[in-house]
Amino acid sequence: MPTPTAQVKHQVKKRLGSIGLDAGCVYRHNPELSHLAVLELDSFKLTLQPNIEPPYFIMHR
Q: What pLDDT, in 10s, does the model give residues 1-54?
A: 999 999 999 999 999 889 999 999 999 989 999 999 999 999 999 999 999 998
38: domain range? Answer: 5-50
Specify if 13 maps to a domain: yes
15 in a structural domain:
yes
Residue 36 lies inside a defined structural domain of this protein:
yes
Give domain status of residue 60, yes or no.
Answer: no
* Residue 22 in domain: yes
Q: How far apart are the first and last CA of the chain?
A: 28
Query: What values do phi and psi take at 33, rounded to 5?
Result: -120, -130
With CA atoms as reference, report the closest residue to 4 among 43, 41, 30, 38.
30
Instruction: Please report whether residue 30 resides in a domain.
Output: yes
Number of domains observed in the structure of the chain = 1
One-letter identity of residue 30: N
Tell me which amino acid residue 49 is: Q
Task: Examine the pLDDT at 60 and tell me if it is beyond 90.
Answer: no
Instruction: Establish if 57 belongs to a structural domain.
Output: no
